[in-house]
Structure 1
């Protein structure tokens, strides 16, 4: 079994997700107490994919997150660097154009997507700013990005309870439902080490995204960050 460390070496992170691919979606539903499906719906609404648009779904895993964009009539490209995740996704959704790729070196031309989105994957990338810059590069001028990521609960008493859940309750629950519970210890640690809402917004603005804004979900457990690529 593989567990990545917080230096987030790409090969270690990819191998860790290879290990959990078969039960990944089920485990997320259990660990999030059913909130994961609501978060996916919020992402789809924020992206606002329209018929004929091209949408890049990064850290797409098995492709589950890509289905709402496909249903909206967009041409969606699910992309992930875990071959195990992509293999499981191909088994479940053989029609999806699942693509292997590193978020810091995307295998796409400049400005080819109307929208780019990444859910619960940006904090697993070794170089966050490089990934945000790559998303900017492949998005057309005036196009948009939506980042869905774990964040900082806004109510202090709940923040304390949430942190205790991550580090104490999550590992034993993961042991019961996941093929690699150590991976979820890493995930809990990576959530605690991740920037808060203003911190991520500042990183996005630093690489060139404009009109950066965010909306909290589930009291700030998750935040949706949105921005657009400048037209000029």
Structure 2
């Protein structure tokens, strides 16, 4: 039997994780939320670390102890670089736990959850356009805080579409989302243009095609 197919093989577990991530994207699209982590979870992180050490000393260490320690250490971080490091470590422990399960119980088939009601933020007139073409759109109004998260995800989507196609028409969509995000901060398009103009006067634009060589 190839190692890839053996119970506990890393490649097999990562393939399941990859499939699950693709399923999440199909259901929910790109999602963007605040991290919600920070020093406020430091006590929980220290407690999880103490419990892990105590369980090790008693010879009663479990995967639950290890994953909890990594998880709460991630929650206690606010610096993006440190948070990313802790999240990677948390994910790695979760994968290692799955490998252990497979070795003890044999490789199990992962059932990817499909279906559900996927949602996406659309322009205000899209439901009207769908109705005009014979469709029956189902819509809801996002709450204010949720709206910001949807707009941030939409910005990533629109920028990605421009990068993929190179179509300058996509830049109009990017700009529309930028204006909508600015409005959530109480900034009008005119205000935004003044900010842009001021920065251009202070630091210049990108018209000269200058590329700064960095010392690494």
Q: TM-score range by the shorter chain?
A: under 0.3
1 or 2, which has the higher strand percentage? 1
Q: TM-score, normalised by structure 2?
A: 0.22
More helix by share: 2
